[in-house]
A and B are shown apart, each in its own frame.
Chain A
Amino acid sequence: MLTCDEYRMPETLDDALALMERHKDRYRVIAGATDLLPATRAGRLGDIHAPMIIDLSRIAALRSVAVNAERVRIGACTEMARFLDAPLLARHLPVMLHCAVWFGDDQLREAATIGGNLVNASPAADAAPPLIAMNAVVTLESRDGGTRRRRDLPLEEFVTGPGTTRLAQGELLTAIECDSMAGYGAAFEKVGHRRSLVISTVCVAALVRVDHWPGRFVDIRLAIGAIAPVPSRLRECEEFLSGKPISSATIGAAARLVSARVQSRTRRAYRAEVVVNFIERALTDAAVNAGVAFDDATRMKEVSHV
């Protein structure tokens, strides 16, 4: 159980940062609470007492979304559900639409936040691979002697291992900024023990921009989660495919480049096989979503898992 002496719900970011400065080491920040509350049950972290809980849910600025030319800026407390129902996000971040569908369930998506998913830094975090694929940068803010401080860090560098990040004492992840991917075909693939509400065994995010004539890949973004301590970008695949003609053979060859990367501690052989199939399927689906037509046999293979 999570208990506290004081439960604070600041209305502004400034107030939140001020509380964090004043109560160094004595607070716990909660956003969606979907990770922390289950974690404080018996058998996991057990009972946790925080002198102060700082609840971010009242800070409207942490939910704002802005699109500025090529980049999209998302407030850290944007709930995962917004990627499904906010048209602006869906247009600029098509991959997040597919990611959000696989994330928890309707009810958890209304609570869980994008920033929380990143700070929690699970190797299986669903939101990390798509954001890494979109060159995401996280904004970390703090207050020091009454002065607001801000630094930006590429997401790929932010997560350092299972449950660990570069977030410093007194810092809050306030926003995520990434490329606008309007016009890309997108796909997100995830395998877990059952269909919904499940932690990823492997997850893959793919974004594909194609030149329909003469049928070539123009830009590929591919990232994978849950096969290593931190999610990673698959640049060898991206480079391999860039400029190549679109065919299932090229996609297959690109996917096979990745199997050596699997370094999970458990079920490595299984994950390696899954990873290759998944990347193949994600790239195919992303290309289909970009308007590419494959022959039926390729599609059937993708759909029926045989």
Chain B
Amino acid sequence: MSSLELDLEINGRRIRRTVPAHMRLLDFLRDELNLTGAKEGCGAGECGTCSIFIDGVLMKSCLVPTARVQGKKIETVEGLARRGELSPLQKAFCRTGASQCGYCIPGMVMAATAALRRNPHAGMEEIKESLSGNICRCTGYQKIFEAVALARDVMNGMLPATALDAEVLGDTFVGASVRRLDAPSKVTGALKYAADMTMLGMLHMQVLRSPYPHARIVALDTAEAEAMPGVEAVVTHRDVPGVDGFGVFVHDQPVMARDKVRYVGEAVAAVAAENLDIAKAALARIKVRYEKLPAVFDAFEAMRRGAPILHDTARDNVVMHIPIRRGDVEHGFAESDVILEETYRTQAIEHAYLEPEAGLGYVDQDGVVTIVSPSQNVTHHRHALSRILALPINKVRMIMSPVGGGFGGKEDMIYQGMLALAALKTRRPVRYVFTREESIVATAKRHPFVVSYKMGVKRDGRICATSMYMVADGGAYGLSTEGVMRKAAILAAGPYNIAHVRVDAIGVYTNNTPSGAFRSFGALQSEFATESHLDMIAERLGIDPIELRRINGMRDGAITHTRQQLDSVSLMTVLDAVAKAAGWEAGAPTVRGETRSDLGAAGNRPPCTLGARLKTRETRDSWEVA
């Protein structure tokens, strides 16, 4: 492969380097120059975590061949505050709290800088459009937009520079904008996420993954890969010294596939090599012979007699069944005036945090196996790893690197075990950085549910009985399924007084990608069914949907379906606030007329349009300026 001599300016400094001709600018910045403010969120030009300026033009560096920047001037996020003083925009991001996980923030700051450089008086719609190539998954954008508008006003002299200072706090933090201590590190790109960290002598890991949803591993031969120059180690299940299993509740997932693979994307072997190219090439030299097994992709089919069995420990493919019984539902249905039955389905959802999984493992000078990773569950992982490695707990250390978004998706110890095994085998630091594609293929999703619902009500709206039969696709391994089933079941029937309740939540093994923790942990799926069902009941009975909830809602002192006494219940306050904020028009869903006064009101979201800049340019009539 040919190389390329580069001579260019980066952040005001002249740089001369020889790099591989095909190298992407993002890799040049991160790997050659250690400018890790630009991140790789997707590598496909979608997310904007790698935005930088080339000759003053904002570009996504993952899509720029390095050859193109010969002789050009590059500005990265590190260049904005080179002398230590934050730019007004960076200060504004700190002031409004416009950074949460922070992974999108360097790119976001660059896009915001571009927006105000192009038009120092940009209006809100124009600001939004200018940032539209940059995705944020945590903040909800509002604080980011506020930051850009604040910086704009300060830079234009509309507001004093002190408007960027942290808010002086009174007696309470509630309702105040509390200074985020880590904000400066995020807006400058200085904060190091796991993929940004390097160590002397560090090896790079790549993982061979299963192409089949269900197959027996007949042979696994790594000799040829291990013999390659530059390959330091290949690890497989054979390298696991202890009890091979992880999972938040059931420890049924081996660090790497043991006798068989159970989903497409499951890790089978891992290579640690001097560089990524060698590691990738070595994967192709690992020989695996599979014997395909019948697979099952539907939770109901998996529960049928004769279905393929995934785990010997669960011959019925059931991970966990949580039943809840209160009163006698048949009696409740018998005394109901109206009975409504419906089935609700939810889908698997990817967390899509902007930071793909990454980790760095090493054995320190005292023989402590250390894993640095954005784990959302370090203590649990430490105990699990100690069991897997058969090491005492004081010889295992977990360091939580900044989490670039997790939402539950980083609770599972998907890759930390492989890093530990490779570090032990090579006695060198090993880093593994997932691509976006690997992150989507290999890691857990939100549990898809099918909820069969039956509810009986009196004509006046009182709920007599609720029956919910919920089946969730847990995928190939247990991970958090047990806990998700429990929470789904406990919260299923909602915060309503119901004398007769029957709930079954069943998590099932299938050969789909494992399901795991995801914001709300099962409550979303069952609540979606309950609240949808109540809306349909309201329509059937001709009752205002909010009133229906008031009729049945729990008050202070209520006893839940799992016999917990609630001292205080804020449901009524919340309902009132929601109705007010939404501009809710009272009345049954069936009596609403053709016009709605609750749409288009202040605080409602208007329909999407693009072209704010066209409008400002058209009114400025600047088209004729040649």
* Residues of chain A having any CB pair with chain B under 8 Å: 1-7, 9, 30, 32-34, 37-38, 41-43, 53, 55, 57, 84, 87-88, 90-91, 97-98, 101-102, 104-108, 110-111, 195-197, 303-305
CB <8 Å contact, A37 and B45: yes
| Chain B residue total in the interface (Cβ 8 A) | 46
Q: Quick one: which of B1, B133, B437, B613 contacts A108, CB cutoff 8 A? A: B133
Contacts of A4 in B (CB 8 A): 1-2, 21-22
CB <8 Å contact, B62 and A37: yes
CB <8 Å contact, A101 and B610: yes
Contacts of A9 in B (CB 8 A): 67-68
CB <8 Å contact, B65 and A33: yes
For residue A98, give the distance in angstroms from its CB to the closest CB of chain B: 7
CB <8 Å contact, A3 and B63: no
A3-B1 contact in complex given A106-B58, A108-B60, C-beta closer than 8 Å: yes
Q: Which of B3-54 contact A (CB under 8 A)?
A: 4, 20-22, 24, 43-46, 48, 51
For residue A100, give the distance in angstroms from its CB to the closest CB of chain B: 9
Contacts of B129 in A (CB 8 A): 106, 196
6 further A-B pairs in the complex, CB-CB below 8 A; given A4-B21, A111-B59:
A87-B622, A91-B623, A101-B610, A102-B610, A108-B45, A303-B607
For residue A299, give the distance in angstroms from its CB to the closest CB of chain B: 13
CA distance A139 to B135 in the complex (A): 38
Instruction: Tell me whether B299 is interfacial, beta carbon within 8 Å.
Output: no
Residue of B nearest to A109 (CB): B133
A6-B133 contact in complex given A55-B68, A88-B626, C-beta closer than 8 Å: no
CA distance A5 to B59 in the complex (A): 26
Residue of B nearest to A1 (CB): B22
CA distance A6 to B2 in the complex (A): 5
Most B CB contacts (10 A, CB to CB) among A4, A30, A57, A106 go to A106
Instruction: Tell me whether B175 is interfacial, beta carbon within 8 Å.
Output: no
Instruction: Tell me whether B624 is interfacial, beta carbon within 8 Å.
Output: yes
CB <8 Å contact, A107 and B60: yes
Q: Quick one: which of A42, A55, A102 contacts B65, CB cutoff 8 A? A: A55
CA distance A196 to B111 in the complex (A): 15
A197-B133 contact in complex given A7-B4, A97-B614, C-beta closer than 8 Å: yes
List 9 A-B residue pairs with CB atoms under 8 Å apart, sorted by A's residue number.
A3-B20, A32-B63, A41-B437, A87-B622, A102-B610, A106-B132, A108-B60, A197-B132, A303-B609
For residue B499, give the distance in angstroms from its CB to the closest CB of chain A: 42
B60-72 to A contact mask, C-beta < 8 Å, 1/0: 1011110110000
For residue A190, give the distance in angstroms from its CB to the closest CB of chain B: 9
Instruction: Tell me whether B57 is interfacial, beta carbon within 8 Å.
Output: yes
CA distance A207 to B324 in the complex (A): 63
Residue of B nearest to A81 (CB): B57
CB <8 Å contact, B2 and A196: no
Q: Quick one: which of B24, B114, B130 contacts A37, CB cutoff 8 A? A: B24
CB <8 Å contact, B1 and A87: no
CA distance A181 to B311 in the complex (A): 67
Instruction: Tell me whether B168 is interfacial, beta carbon within 8 Å.
Output: no
A110-B45 contact in complex given A4-B2, A55-B65, A57-B68, C-beta closer than 8 Å: no
A87-B623 contact in complex given A4-B21, A107-B58, C-beta closer than 8 Å: yes
CB <8 Å contact, B624 and A87: yes
CB <8 Å contact, A305 and B24: no
Instruction: Tell me whether B602 is interfacial, beta carbon within 8 Å.
Output: no
A38-B45 contact in complex given A4-B22, A53-B22, C-beta closer than 8 Å: yes
A101-B68 contact in complex given A2-B22, A37-B45, C-beta closer than 8 Å: no
CB <8 Å contact, B614 and A87: no
Contacts of A32 in B (CB 8 A): 63
Contacts of B624 in A (CB 8 A): 87, 91
Instruction: Tell me whether B574 is interfacial, beta carbon within 8 Å.
Output: no
Contacts of B59 in A (CB 8 A): 107, 110-111
Contacts of B622 in A (CB 8 A): 87
Q: Quick one: which of B133, B600, B609 contacts A105, CB cutoff 8 A? A: B133
CA distance A102 to B611 in the complex (A): 8
CB <8 Å contact, A98 and B611: yes
Instruction: Tell me whether B200 is interfacial, beta carbon within 8 Å.
Output: no
CA distance A196 to B129 in the complex (A): 8
Closest 3 CB pairs of A and B: A105-B133, A7-B21, A196-B132
Q: Which of B474-510 contact A (CB under 8 A)?
A: none
CB <8 Å contact, B24 and A5: no
Contacts of A91 in B (CB 8 A): 623-624
A195-B22 contact in complex given A30-B65, A34-B45, C-beta closer than 8 Å: no
A107-B51 contact in complex given A7-B21, A55-B68, A87-B626, C-beta closer than 8 Å: yes
Instruction: Tell me whether B174 is interfacial, beta carbon within 8 Å.
Output: no
For residue B461, give the distance in angstroms from its CB to the closest CB of chain A: 30
CA distance A111 to B62 in the complex (A): 12
CB <8 Å contact, A105 and B44: no
CA distance A3 to B23 in the complex (A): 8
For residue A39, give the distance in angstroms from its CB to the closest CB of chain B: 9
Contacts of B181 in A (CB 8 A): none
Most A CB contacts (10 A, CB to CB) among B63, B64, B111, B611 go to B63
CA distance A106 to B622 in the complex (A): 20
Residue of B nearest to A36 (CB): B63
For residue A94, give the distance in angstroms from its CB to the closest CB of chain B: 9
Instruction: Tell me whether B601 is interfacial, beta carbon within 8 Å.
Output: no
For residue A16, give the distance in angstroms from its CB to the closest CB of chain B: 15
Contacts of A57 in B (CB 8 A): 68
Q: Which of B275-291 contact A (CB under 8 A)?
A: none
Instruction: Tell me whether B158 is interfacial, beta carbon within 8 Å.
Output: no
Residue of A nearest to B70 (CB): A9
Residue of B nearest to A90 (CB): B623
Most A CB contacts (10 A, CB to CB) among B45, B435, B614, B622 go to B45
CA distance A299 to B608 in the complex (A): 15
For residue B133, give the distance in angstroms from its CB to the closest CB of chain A: 3
Most A CB contacts (10 A, CB to CB) among B435, B607, B611, B625 go to B611
A110-B626 contact in complex given A41-B437, A43-B437, A97-B614, C-beta closer than 8 Å: no
CB <8 Å contact, B43 and A41: yes
CB <8 Å contact, A3 and B65: no
Q: Which of B448-482 contact A (CB under 8 A)?
A: none
CB <8 Å contact, B133 and A38: no
A195-B610 contact in complex given A37-B45, A107-B60, A107-B133, C-beta closer than 8 Å: yes
A110-B58 contact in complex given A5-B1, A305-B607, C-beta closer than 8 Å: yes
Q: Quick one: which of B45, B132, B625 contacts A87, CB cutoff 8 A? A: B625
For residue B271, give the distance in angstroms from its CB to the closest CB of chain A: 16
CB <8 Å contact, A107 and B48: yes
Contacts of B441 in A (CB 8 A): 43
Most B CB contacts (10 A, CB to CB) among A9, A53, A88, A107 go to A107
A101-B614 contact in complex given A34-B45, A37-B45, A303-B607, C-beta closer than 8 Å: yes
CB <8 Å contact, A3 and B22: yes
CB <8 Å contact, B21 and A6: yes
CB <8 Å contact, A106 and B1: no
Q: Which of B103-151 contact A (CB under 8 A)?
A: 111, 114, 129-130, 132-133
Most B CB contacts (10 A, CB to CB) among A41, A53, A196 go to A196
Q: Quick one: which of A2, A41, A196 contacts B610, CB cutoff 8 A? A: A196
CA distance A258 to B20 in the complex (A): 51
Contacts of B614 in A (CB 8 A): 84, 97-98, 101
CA distance A305 to B133 in the complex (A): 24
For residue B128, give the distance in angstroms from its CB to the closest CB of chain A: 9
